[in-house]
């Protein structure tokens, strides 16, 4: 294989990862073979192994780059926002468009397959954990900015906890969309979530034991 410049190696590696992701989305990563990836990437098996030791390493790269792409997209929008409300609207709009995209169901199917594998395979688990921690870290940055600019009241703000709740809600919505199809009201669910989050819809709870709260940021 001709000697390539570092940027050319990285570009070709990204092409292989993108091809692998296309194959995984089409057939799932269990049914996808390295030959399938080679055909999609227009590369020989020998060429493939120049970049990756095997299929498991390709799966790791797909998980990592999928997270990086999401973080880069949202970060690019929110970093350009003039204030915290604009950053929050940009992030909210992104998630709404993502949920409304018909292709999100295919990505959710792949994620469910990855999560199932992560339960059995410690390596996949660790890669997946770091990928979602990266997404949560991006959300923490947005929420911290909102807190610093006075969008949240009180001293009991738990940025990591709230970011985790946002991420869990989004994952749950994706799964409901996949399972319920047209019966799942995307815009209504998001609107209700943000109404409750803003305190405009509040529940009067009966007396229950209070939960421990971490120190405010």
Domains of the chain with CATH codes: 1-52 (1.10.10.60), 55-198 (1.10.357.10)
In the chain, pLDDT over 90 holds for what percent of residues? Answer: 54
Contacts by 10-18, CB closer than 8 A, 24 or more apart: 12/51, 13/51, 13/61, 14/65, 15/41, 16/41, 16/43, 16/48, 16/51, 16/52, 16/58, 17/58, 17/61, 17/62, 17/65
Q: Provide the whole-model pTM.
A: 0.80
Mean pLDDT of 138-153: 90
pLDDT band at residue 210 under the 50/70/90 scheme: low
pLDDT in tens, 111-127: 999 999 999 999 999 99
Question: pLDDT value at position 215?
Answer: 55
pLDDT given at position 4: 58
Confidence at 216, pLDDT banded by 50, 70, 90: low
Q: How far apart are CA 151 and CA 153, in angstroms?
A: 7
Q: What is the pLDDT of residues 5-44, one digit of tens each?
A: 667 778 888 999 999 999 999 998 889 999 999 999 999 9
């Amino acid at each position: 294989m001709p000697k390539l410049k570092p940027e050319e190696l990285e570009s070709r590696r990204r092409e292989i990862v993108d091809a692998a992701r296309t194959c995984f989305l089409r057939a799932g990563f269990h049914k996808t073979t390295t030959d399938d990836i080679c055909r999609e990437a227009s590369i020989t098996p020998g060429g493939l192994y120049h970049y990756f030791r095997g299929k498991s390493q390709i799966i790791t790269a797909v998980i990592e780059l999928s997270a990086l792409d999401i973080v880069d997209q949202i970060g690019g929008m929110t970093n350009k926002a003039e204030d915290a409300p604009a950053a929050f609207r940009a992030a909210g709009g992104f998630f709404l468009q993502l949920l409304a995209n018909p292709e999100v169901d295919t990505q959710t199917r792949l994620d469910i397959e990855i999560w199932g594998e992560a339960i059995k395979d410690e390596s996949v688990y660790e890669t997946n954990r770091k990928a979602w921690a990266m997404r949560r870290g991006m959300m923490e940055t947005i929420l911290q900015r909102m807190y610093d600019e006075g969008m949240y009241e009180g001293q009991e703000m738990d940025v990591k906890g709230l970011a985790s709740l946002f991420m869990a809600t989004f994952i749950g919505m994706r799964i409901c969309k996949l399972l319920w199809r047209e019966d799942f009201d995307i815009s209504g669910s998001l609107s209700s979530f943000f109404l409750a989050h803003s305190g405009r819809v509040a529940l009067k709870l009966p007396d229950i034991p209070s939960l421990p709260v971490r120190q405010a940021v």
